[in-house]
């Protein structure tokens, strides 16, 4: 069984907070994709793990919000996109989602 994949979405974040999220993602998983400003896909862990890891960056909902949810990669068609991605990003998505 492949490791779980999660989508992390943030909202109302400042650039410094985005950079902090990126740093924590890189430190805590070897497999991730960040091709949209407030969206990361990460492999491994569980939803609560990622929420708790990122929560100190957003101490109140006024300073930013975090949503983490699991992507069911076992179900064909469990995701869809209308966007233009570079070749590396598209390959990551196709291989991991």
Give the whole-angstrom CA distance, residue 38 versus residue 7: 10
Give the whole-angstrom CA distance, residue 82 versus residue 65: 24
34 three-state secondary structure:
strand
Give the whole-angstrom CA distance, residue 7 versus residue 93: 12
Domain ranges in the chain are 5-96
| pTM listed for this prediction | 0.92
CATH 3.40.1000 fits 5-96, yes or no: no
pLDDT in tens, the chain (97 residues): 889 999 999 999 999 999 999 999 999 999 999 999 999 999 999 999 999 999 999 988 788 899 999 999 998 888 888 888 889 998 999 899 8
């Amino acid at each position: 069984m492949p490791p779980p994949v999660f989508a992390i979405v943030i909202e109302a974040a400042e650039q410094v907070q985005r950079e902090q999220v990126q740093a924590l993602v890189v430190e805590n998983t070897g497999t991730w994709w960040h091709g949209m400003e407030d969206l990361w896909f990460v492999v491994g862990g569980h939803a609560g793990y990622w929420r708790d890891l990122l929560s100190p960056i957003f101490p109140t909902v006024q300073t930013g919000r975090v949503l983490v949810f699991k992507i069911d990669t076992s179900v064909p068609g469990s995701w869809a996109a209308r966007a233009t991605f570079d070749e590396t990003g598209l390959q990551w998505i196709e291989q991991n989602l």
